[in-house]
């Protein structure tokens, strides 16, 4: 079976289903959460966390296995990732169009771009593991599932290691900061929180203050207890920013998490696909 034939078995209704999930999820949460406030669209924020993890779990389920890979197919993971990206975009489009918030499209574009880039990283890790372990083998998908679980729950287990690292040696504080920064950049829930902190309408409104932004780390009753609100932890950029303005106002260009993930994931994805294809030609 070729990848094209396998993709045809994934019905176009999958995109409509993803759109419906994003739309309906907001309606379900609307009855459970308080109404939106300036800078805090509670329903949309909560739905985006659930939708991000759901899309990544679906991407892991759609990772191609050996029985759908033909000898003539080269970029098998890349093609399935592109198909999955369309489904992810439809899911966040449904959340954007749900009448439970007044946010503009920018933050949902950032969330969709972030999730698509995270899915690319997941596919790249799987493809590289297939090259390493060989196929058919269940180890790559199992490792990817464990990897996703560890990163998704990092906020619950990383606090103690971060505090202990800061007390171990002279360089402990630097290593502690690096681990905290890694959690901020690679844990899916934290990157979603960063997208709201950086790209929401309240964050980009010149009249608003940072206190009116959604802040999962330093906000009261959230994760101020993670490693302590006294630590200065910057929220990473999700989309590319800076590099514009005159000599006095120009900001240094920041590629953003989504672009960084794509820049390293897609070459690994393509190279691993080529290596797998060449290995199939020898058998």
Give the pair of three-digit tokens for residue 231.
């630590």
Tens digit of pLDDT at every position of the chain (283 positions): 455 555 555 556 778 888 999 999 988 888 888 877 766 888 999 999 999 999 999 999 888 765 445 556 678 888 889 989 999 999 999 999 988 888 889 999 999 999 999 999 999 999 898 888 876 678 888 899 999 999 999 888 888 888 787 777 667 677 888 888 888 889 999 999 999 988 888 777 755 544 467 777 766 656 666 666 556 677 888 988 765 544 444 467 788 899 999 999 999 999 988 888 777 766 5
Quickly list DSSP for 72-98. Answer: T-S-HHHHHHHHHHHHHHHHHHHHHHS
Number of H helices, E strands in the chain: 13, 0
pLDDT in tens, 129-174: 888 887 667 888 889 999 999 999 988 888 888 878 777 766 767 7
End-to-end CA distance of the chain: 16
Alpha helices in 101-252 (DSSP H): 105-133, 139-152, 154-157, 159-168, 172-186, 188-199, 201-204, 224-227
Indicate the angle between helix axes 188-199 and 105-133, nearest 10 degrees: 150
Domain boundaries, the chain: 3-281
pTM summary value: 0.87
């Amino acid at each position: 079976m070729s990848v094209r034939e396998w993709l045809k078995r994934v019905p176009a209704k999958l995109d409509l289903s993803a759109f419906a999930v994003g739309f309906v999820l907001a309606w379900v949460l609307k009855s459970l959460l308080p109404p939106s406030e300036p800078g805090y669209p509670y329903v949309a924020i909560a739905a985006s966390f659930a939708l991000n993890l759901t899309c990544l779990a679906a991407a892991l389920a759609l990772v191609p296995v050996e029985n759908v890979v033909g000898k003539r197919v080269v970029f098998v993971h890349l093609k399935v990732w592109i198909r999955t990206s369309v489904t992810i975009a439809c899911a966040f489009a449904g959340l954007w169009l749900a009448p439970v918030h007044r946010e503009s499209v920018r933050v949902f574009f950032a969330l969709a771009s972030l999730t698509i880039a995270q899915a690319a990283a997941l596919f790249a890790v799987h493809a590289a593991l297939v090259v390493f372990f060989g196929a058919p083998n269940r180890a790559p998908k199992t490792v990817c599932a464990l990897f996703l679980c560890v990163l998704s729950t990092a906020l619950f287990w990383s606090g103690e290691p971060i505090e202990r690292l800061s007390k171990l040696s002279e360089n402990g504080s630097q290593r502690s900061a690096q681990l905290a920064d890694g959690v901020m950049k690679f844990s899916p829930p934290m990157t979603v929180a960063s997208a709201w902190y950086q790209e929401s309408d309240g964050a980009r409104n010149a009249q608003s203050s940072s206190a009116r932004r959604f802040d999962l780390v330093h906000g009261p009753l959230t994760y101020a207890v993670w490693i302590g609100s006294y630590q200065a932890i910057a929220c990473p950029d999700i989309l590319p920013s800076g590099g514009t303005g005159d000599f006095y106002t120009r900001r240094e260009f920041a590629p953003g998490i989504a672009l960084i993930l794509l820049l390293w994931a897609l070459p690994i994805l393509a190279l691993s696909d080529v290596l797998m294809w060449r290995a199939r030609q020898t058998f």
